[in-house]
A and B are shown apart, each in its own frame.
Chain A
Amino acid sequence: MEKTQQKPLWGPKKPLKSSYDAVIVGGGLHGLATAYFLARDHGITDVAVIDKNFIGYGGAGRNTAIVRANQRTQENVPLYKEALDLWPVLTKELDFNLMFNNCGNLNLMHSEAAMKAARMNISTAQFLGVESHLLDKKQVKDLEPALNVSEDIVYPIHGAMFHPPGGILRHDAVVWGLAKGVAGYGGDIHQQTEVTAINTEKGKIASVDTSAGSIKTPKVLVAAGGYSAAIINMMLGIRLPISVLTIQAMVTQPLKPLLDHVVSSGAYHVYCNQTLKGEIATGAHMDAWPNYTTLTTAHYIKHQAEALTQFLPCLAGLKFMRIWGGLADMTPDMAPIMDGNDHIRGFFMDCGWGYFGFKSCTSTGKYMAEFMATDEYPEMLKPFTLRRYEQHRLMGETPALVNYSPDN
Chain B
Amino acid sequence: MMNRITNLPTLKIDPSKAVSLKYHDIPYQGCAGDTVATALYAGGVRIFGRSLKYHRPRGLYSLDGECSNTCMEIDAIPNERSENLPARDGMVVREQNVKGSAEHDKLSFIDKLDWAMPAGFYYHTMHKPAALWPLAMKQIRKAAGLGRLSPDFRQTGRFDEIFPSTEVCVIGGGPSGMQAALSAAEQGLRVILLEARPWLGGFYDYRTVQDDHAVPLYERGRKLAEKVSAHPGIRVLTHTSLVGTYNNGLVTAFRRGSSEDSFAERYIEIRAKSVVVATGCIERPLLFENNERPGVMQAGCAHRLLNTFGILPGKTAVFAVGHDLGLEAALDLHDQGVNIACIADLRTEGQNPDLLKALESRDITYQPGQTALEAHGKKLLTGVVLGSMDGSSQKTLPCDLLVASAGLTPVSGPLTINKGSVAYDAHTGSFLPDKLPENTRVAGRILGLGDPEAIEASGHLAGLQAAQDCGLDSAADLQKAEQALAELPGPEKGTDFVIGPVSGRKSFICFDEDTTIKNIKQAINKGFDVPELIKRFTSAGTGPGQGGIPDHNLPLFTALYQGSAQESVRPTNRRPPLTPIFLSTYAGRNHDMAKRTPMHDRQKQDGGIFRRLGVWRRARYFSEDLSCRQEVENVRSNVGIFDGSTLGKFRIHGPDCLKALDRVFVSDMHKVKQGRIKYTAMCNEDGCVIDDGVITKMGENDYFFTTSTGRAGATVEWIRYHTRYEGRDFHMVNLTDAFGVINLSGPNARKVIEKVVDQDISNEALPFSGVKGFSIGQNVEVFVMRLGFVGELSYEIHVPSSYMESVWDLLLEAGQEFGIMNFGVEAQNVLRMEKGHIILGQESEQRTNLLDVHLGFLWHRDKPEAKTVGSLALKQAEQDPDRLKLVGLKMQEAKVPGDGCVIVDESRIRGYVCTIRKSFSVDGIVGLALVEGPLAKPGSVVSIYEDECKGNLLKADVVPLPFYDPEGARMKA
Interchain CB contact under 8 A, B577 and A392: no
Interchain CB contact under 8 A, B525 and A126: no
Task: Provide the A297-312 mask, 1 if CB < 8 A to any CB of B, else 0.
Answer: 1100110111011100
Q: Across the interface, name the chain B residue whose C-beta is closest to A403.
A: B714
Q: Across the interface, name the chain B residue whose C-beta is closest to A158.
A: B611
Please provide the chain A residues from 317 to 354 with a CB less than 8 Å away from any CB of chain B in the complex: 317-324, 332-333
Please name all residues of chain B whose beta carbon is closer than 8 Å to the beta carbon of A333 when the two chains form the complex.
846
Q: Is A124 among interface residues, defined by CB-CB distance under 8 A?
A: yes
- Which of B399-407, B444-452, B784-792, B893-901 contacts its partner? B893-901
Q: Is B779 among interface residues, defined by CB-CB distance under 8 A?
A: no
Interchain CB contact under 8 A, B124 and A276: no
Please name all residues of chain A whose beta carbon is closer than 8 Å to the beta carbon of B8 when the two chains form the complex.
none
Please name all residues of chain A whose beta carbon is closer than 8 Å to the beta carbon of B773 when the two chains form the complex.
none
The complex places the Cα of A391 from the Cα of B686 at a distance, in Å, of 9
Given contacts A1-B560, A320-B583, A392-B686, contact A253 B79 (CB under 8 A): yes
Please provide the chain B residues from 808 to 855 with a CB less than 8 Å away from any CB of chain A in the complex: 826, 841-842, 845-847, 849
Please provide the chain B residues from 255 to 311 with a CB less than 8 Å away from any CB of chain A in the complex: 267, 269
Interchain CB contact under 8 A, B847 and A123: no
Q: Which of A6, A253, A276, A398 is the one whose CB lies under 8 Å from B147?
A: A253
Please provide the chain A residues from 79 to 114 with a CB less than 8 Å away from any CB of chain B in the complex: 88, 91-92, 95-102, 110-113
Q: Is B803 among interface residues, defined by CB-CB distance under 8 A?
A: no
Please provide the chain A residues from 265 to 282 with a CB less than 8 Å away from any CB of chain B in the complex: 274, 276-279
Q: Is A256 among interface residues, defined by CB-CB distance under 8 A?
A: yes
Given contacts A97-B124, A276-B137, contact A4 B522 (CB under 8 A): yes
Interchain CB contact under 8 A, A119 and B947: yes
The complex places the Cα of A278 from the Cα of B834 at a distance, in Å, of 52
Please provide the chain A residues from 1 to 34 with a CB less than 8 Å away from any CB of chain B in the complex: 1, 3-11
The complex places the Cα of A315 from the Cα of B584 at a distance, in Å, of 8
Q: Is B312 among interface residues, defined by CB-CB distance under 8 A?
A: no
Q: Is A237 among interface residues, defined by CB-CB distance under 8 A?
A: no
Interchain CB contact under 8 A, A54 and B123: no
Interchain CB contact under 8 A, A323 and B577: yes
Q: Is B726 among interface residues, defined by CB-CB distance under 8 A?
A: no
Interchain CB contact under 8 A, B124 and A324: no
Interchain CB contact under 8 A, A396 and B847: yes
Given contacts A96-B124, A97-B127, contact A316 B79 (CB under 8 A): no
Interchain CB contact under 8 A, B583 and A305: yes
Please provide the chain A residues from 244 to 279 with a CB less than 8 Å away from any CB of chain B in the complex: 252-258, 274, 276-279
Interchain CB contact under 8 A, A97 and B126: yes
Interchain CB contact under 8 A, A309 and B587: yes
Interchain CB contact under 8 A, B904 and A301: no
The complex places the Cα of A348 from the Cα of B276 at a distance, in Å, of 49
Interchain CB contact under 8 A, A256 and B145: yes
Q: Which of B127, B148, B717, B877 is the one whose CB lies under 8 Å from A255?
A: B148
Q: Is B135 among interface residues, defined by CB-CB distance under 8 A?
A: no
Please name all residues of chain B whose beta carbon is closer than 8 Å to the beta carbon of A124 when the two chains form the complex.
902, 909
Please name all residues of chain B whose beta carbon is closer than 8 Å to the beta carbon of A398 when the two chains form the complex.
846
Please name all residues of chain B whose beta carbon is closer than 8 Å to the beta carbon of A314 when the two chains form the complex.
149-154
Cβ of A182 to closest chain B Cβ, rounded Å: 13
The complex places the Cα of A155 from the Cα of B612 at a distance, in Å, of 7
Cβ of A273 to closest chain B Cβ, rounded Å: 12
Cβ of B100 to closest chain A Cβ, rounded Å: 16
Q: Across the interface, name the chain A residue whose C-beta is closest to B536.
A: A172
Please name all residues of chain B whose beta carbon is closer than 8 Å to the beta carbon of A202 when the two chains form the complex.
none
Task: Provide the B76-91 mask, 1 if CB < 8 A to any CB of A, else 0.
Answer: 1111000000000000
The complex places the Cα of A257 from the Cα of B130 at a distance, in Å, of 22
Q: Is B582 among interface residues, defined by CB-CB distance under 8 A?
A: yes
Please name all residues of chain A whose beta carbon is closer than 8 Å to the beta carbon of B148 when the two chains form the complex.
255-256
Interchain CB contact under 8 A, B846 and A92: no
Interchain CB contact under 8 A, B576 and A296: yes
Q: Across the interface, name the chain B residue whose C-beta is closest to A61.
A: B536
Q: Is B122 among interface residues, defined by CB-CB distance under 8 A?
A: yes
Interchain CB contact under 8 A, B526 and A6: yes
Please name all residues of chain B whose beta carbon is closer than 8 Å to the beta carbon of A288 when the two chains form the complex.
none
Q: Across the interface, name the chain A residue whose C-beta is closest to B944.
A: A123
Please provide the chain B residues from 579 to 593 with a CB less than 8 Å away from any CB of chain A in the complex: 580-588, 590, 592
Interchain CB contact under 8 A, B145 and A127: no
Q: Is B946 among interface residues, defined by CB-CB distance under 8 A?
A: yes
Task: Provide the A147-182 mask, 1 if CB < 8 A to any CB of B, else 0.
Answer: 000000011000000000000001011001100000
Given contacts A91-B127, A116-B899, A309-B587, contact A3 B141 (CB under 8 A): no
Interchain CB contact under 8 A, A302 and B587: yes
Q: Across the interface, name the chain A residue whose C-beta is closest to B544.
A: A253
Chain B contact-residue range equals 35 or more
Please name all residues of chain A whose beta carbon is closer than 8 Å to the beta carbon of B908 when the two chains form the complex.
74
Q: Which of A115, A134, A296, A313 is the one whose CB lies under 8 Å from B154?
A: A313
Cβ of B102 to closest chain A Cβ, rounded Å: 16
Given contacts A254-B544, A298-B246, contact A323 B583 (CB under 8 A): no
Which residue, of B244, B527, B532, B588, has the highest number of chain A Cβ atoms within 10 A? B527
Which residue, of B528, B576, B714, B945, has the highest number of chain A Cβ atoms within 10 A? B576
Q: Is A146 among interface residues, defined by CB-CB distance under 8 A?
A: yes
Interchain CB contact under 8 A, A96 and B525: no
Interchain CB contact under 8 A, B137 and A92: no
Interchain CB contact under 8 A, B544 and A117: no
Q: Is A216 among interface residues, defined by CB-CB distance under 8 A?
A: no
How many chain-A residues does the 8 Å CB contact rule pick out? 104
Interchain CB contact under 8 A, A111 and B611: yes
Interchain CB contact under 8 A, A400 and B845: yes
Which residue, of A5, A117, A314, A391, has the highest number of chain B Cβ atoms within 10 A? A314
The complex places the Cα of A272 from the Cα of B950 at a distance, in Å, of 31
Please name all residues of chain B whose beta carbon is closer than 8 Å to the beta carbon of A276 when the two chains form the complex.
137, 140-141, 144
Interchain CB contact under 8 A, A317 and B76: yes
Interchain CB contact under 8 A, A4 and B521: yes
Q: Across the interface, name the chain A residue whose C-beta is closest to B518.
A: A4
Q: Is A394 among interface residues, defined by CB-CB distance under 8 A?
A: yes
Please provide the chain B residues from 661 to 715 with a CB less than 8 Å away from any CB of chain A in the complex: 684-688, 690, 714
Please name all residues of chain A whose beta carbon is closer than 8 Å to the beta carbon of B845 when the two chains form the complex.
396, 399-401
Interchain CB contact under 8 A, B898 and A116: yes
Please provide the chain B residues from 184 to 233 with a CB less than 8 Å away from any CB of chain A in the complex: none
Cβ of A309 to closest chain B Cβ, rounded Å: 5
Q: Is B419 among interface residues, defined by CB-CB distance under 8 A?
A: yes
Please name all residues of chain B whose beta carbon is closer than 8 Å to the beta carbon of A132 when the two chains form the complex.
947
Interchain CB contact under 8 A, B154 and A393: no
The complex places the Cα of A399 from the Cα of B710 at a distance, in Å, of 14
Q: Is B494 among interface residues, defined by CB-CB distance under 8 A?
A: no
Interchain CB contact under 8 A, B947 and A122: yes
Cβ of B876 to closest chain A Cβ, rounded Å: 6
Interchain CB contact under 8 A, A145 and B151: yes
Q: Is B912 among interface residues, defined by CB-CB distance under 8 A?
A: yes
Interchain CB contact under 8 A, A257 and B142: yes
Cβ of B390 to closest chain A Cβ, rounded Å: 13
Cβ of A316 to closest chain B Cβ, rounded Å: 4
Q: Is B252 among interface residues, defined by CB-CB distance under 8 A?
A: yes
The complex places the Cα of A177 from the Cα of B526 at a distance, in Å, of 12
Q: Which of A172, A177, A257 is the one whose CB lies under 8 Å from B537?
A: A172
Q: Is A212 among interface residues, defined by CB-CB distance under 8 A?
A: no
Interchain CB contact under 8 A, A120 and B576: no
Given contacts A123-B947, A276-B137, A333-B846, contact A302 B526 (CB under 8 A): no
Q: Across the interface, name the chain B residue whose C-beta is closest to A132.
A: B947
Interchain CB contact under 8 A, A392 and B876: yes
The complex places the Cα of A305 from the Cα of B126 at a distance, in Å, of 35
Cβ of B525 to closest chain A Cβ, rounded Å: 4
Q: Is B110 among interface residues, defined by CB-CB distance under 8 A?
A: no
Task: Identify 7 residue pairs between A and B in the complex whose beta-carbon atoms are under 8 Å apart, listed by A's number.
Answer: A9-B526, A119-B900, A254-B146, A301-B576, A314-B149, A317-B153, A318-B149
Interface of A toward B, CB cutoff 8 Å: 1, 3-11, 54, 56, 61, 73-74, 88, 91-92, 95-102, 110-113, 115-120, 122-124, 126-127, 132-134, 145-146, 154-155, 170, 172-173, 176-177, 252-258, 274, 276-279, 295-298, 301-302, 304-306, 308-310, 313-324, 332-333, 391-396, 398-403, 406
Question: What are the nearest 7 A-B pairs in CB distance?
Answer: A278-B145, A119-B900, A305-B586, A8-B527, A316-B155, A146-B151, A319-B580
